[in-house]
Amino acid sequence: MDTIQAVILIGIGLFGGVWNAIAGGATLFTFPALMAVGLPPVVANATNYLALLPSNAAALPAYREELRGLGKTLLPLLVVSGIGAFIGSILLLVSDPDFFVVLLPFLILVATCLFAFGDALRSWLLNKMGESRGNKAIYAGLFLSSIYGGYFGAGLGFILLAIAQLMGFSNFHIANSIKNLLATSFTILSILVFGIGGLIAWPQAIAMMVGSTIGGYVGGRLAKRVSTRYLRSVVIAFGVVLSIAYFVRAFG
C-alpha cells in the first residue's frame, strides 16, 4: 500500500464513519473502496469488518444502562448469534474466491434492499407475528441472520432490530441496544476468524479504521442536525448502481 492509497482509505473511512453514524449503510461505500485499491473481493470483505468496527461499537457506551438491566437475558442471544456468525465467517474463509465474485452482486442487492425496506420489513414482522418471546422460529431467524452477518453483513441491523422486538423487547431503545451489542460481538468474532485465516489486509484495515474512528465521532455529533432522508436515498441509489455494476462484472 502506497501513501496515496493510505490517504484515500483514511478519507473513505472518515466519510464512512460519519455516514454510519448519521444514516448507516457505509459498507456500500467502504467495501468497493477496498477493492479499488487492489484487494481481492474476499479479502476486501474481511478487511472491511475491522475497518468499520469503531463505528459499529461506538453506540454501546450510550446503551450501557439498558444492557446492564437485561443481564442474563442476553446470554442465549449472544450464543445463538455467535454460533451463526462463526459459521458465516468460516464459510467466507473456505469459499472459492470465484464463487464469492458471482455471489457478490446478489449480496449487495440484498444489503441495498434491507437498507431500503428494512423499516417496512420490521413493521410487517411485528404486525404479522406479534411479540413472542422465546419463539423457536425467531431464534432460527437470528441464527440464519447471523450466518449472513458473519459472511457479509451489510444491512443486517434492520433484521436484528426486528428480531429483538419480536422477542418481546418492545422498547425501541432496549431493542436497539441489543442490536448494537449483537452486531458488535459477532463482528469481533468474525475479525478473529478472518485474522487467524489470513484474510485481513492489516495496513489497509488500519488506515481505514483511523478514518472511521474519527468519522464516527464527528458523525455522532452531527447526527441530530442532519436529515437522513436524502442521505438514505443516496445510499439506496448507490447500492442499486453498485449491484448492477457487479452483475455486469460477474455475468457480462
Residue appearing with cell numbers 434492520: 158
Phi, psi dihedrals of residue 201, rounded to the nearest 5°: -90, 95
The reported pTM is 0.80
Does position 222 have pLDDT exceeding 90, yes or no? no
Q: Where are the alpha helices (DSSP H) in the chain?
A: 3-22, 27-36, 41-57, 64-70, 74-94, 97-129, 136-151, 157-166, 172-196, 202-222, 228-251
List, for residues 60-106, the tens digit of each pLDDT value.
777 778 788 787 888 888 999 999 999 999 999 998 888 888 888 89
With a cut of 80, say whether residue 252 has pLDDT above it.
no
Provide long-range contacts, Cβ within 8 A and 24+ apart, for 96-99: 97/40, 97/41, 97/42
> What is d(CA 187, CA 211) in angstroms, rounded to the nearest whole number?
18
Confidence of residue 129 (pLDDT cuts 50, 70, 90): low
Calpha distance 99→59 (Å, rounded): 34
The grid coordinates of residue 73 equal 437475558
Distance CA 234, CA 142 (A): 29
Mean local confidence (pLDDT), 44-69: 81
DSSP string, 158-192: HHHHHHHHHTT--SHHHHHHHHHHHHHHHHHHHHH
* SS3 state at 156: coil
Number of neighbours of residue 7 by Cβ within 10 angstroms:
12
pLDDT of residue 23: 63
Cell of 157: 441491523
Domain hosting 233: range is 3-251
Query: Across residues 14-24, what is the average pLDDT?
Result: 78
Q: pLDDT (tens digit, 9 = 90+) per residue, 163-219?
A: 887 777 777 778 878 888 888 888 899 999 999 999 999 999 999 999 988 887 787
Q: Of 107, 102, 29, 152, whose CA–CA distance to 252 is shortest?
A: 102
| Confidence tier at 38 by pLDDT (50, 70, 90) | very high
Do 124 and 252 touch, CB atoms closer than 8 A?
no
Count of the separate structural domains present in the chain: 1
pLDDT at 242 over 80: yes
The pLDDT of 114-134, averaged and rounded, is: 68
45, 243 in Cβ contact below 8 A?
Answer: no
pLDDT at position 63, please? 73
Q: Please give the pLDDT value at position 16.
A: 86
Q: What is the pLDDT of residue 205?
A: 95
* pLDDT over 70 at 147, yes or no: yes
What mean pLDDT is reported for the chain? 83
228 vs 39: which has the higher pLDDT: 39
Q: Looking at residue 134, what is its pLDDT? A: 47
Copy the grid coordinates of residue 102.
Answer: 458471482
Q: Tell me, what amino acid is at 8? A: I
